[in-house]
Amino acid sequence: MQNDLSKRREDEGLSQGELAEAVGVTRQTINAIERNRYDPSLELAFKLAAHFNCSIEDIFGPEGQ
C-alpha cells in the first residue's frame, strides 16, 4: 500500500512526533508508514483520515496507483 502521509504532514507543518502524539502512536510507527514499511490498522487509518479531515482512500491506496 502506498500513501501520501509525509506530504500531508509536512503541509500542516507537523513533525512525525507531533502527528504520532495526535493519533496516539509512536513516532517510529508514523515513520514506518511514511516509508511504506508498515500498513496501519484500520483503526489507525481512520484516526489519520479524521486528523487530516479526509477519507482513508485520500491518504492510502493500492501500490502502483
Partner 1 sequence: MADHRIIAAGLTRQKYRGLVYGIAGLAILGLLAGFVLDQHFAGTIIYLLGAWTAGGIAVLAPMLSEATLQDERDWELHNRASGILIGVTMLIGLSMLPALYVLDAGSYIEITGTVSGVIFTLSALFLLYGVCLGIAKRRI
Residues that bind partner 1 (CB under 8 A): 20-21, 24-26, 28-29, 32, 38, 40-41, 43-44
- Name residues whose C-beta falls within 8 Å of residue 56's C-beta, 6 or more positions apart in sequence: 45, 46, 48, 49
CB atoms within 10 A of CB 38: 15
Cell of 40: 496501519
Toward partner 1, which CB reaches closer, 11 or 35? 35
> What is the nearest approach in angstroms of partner 1 to the Cβ of residue 57?
20
Toward partner 1, which CB reaches closer, 37 or 63? 37
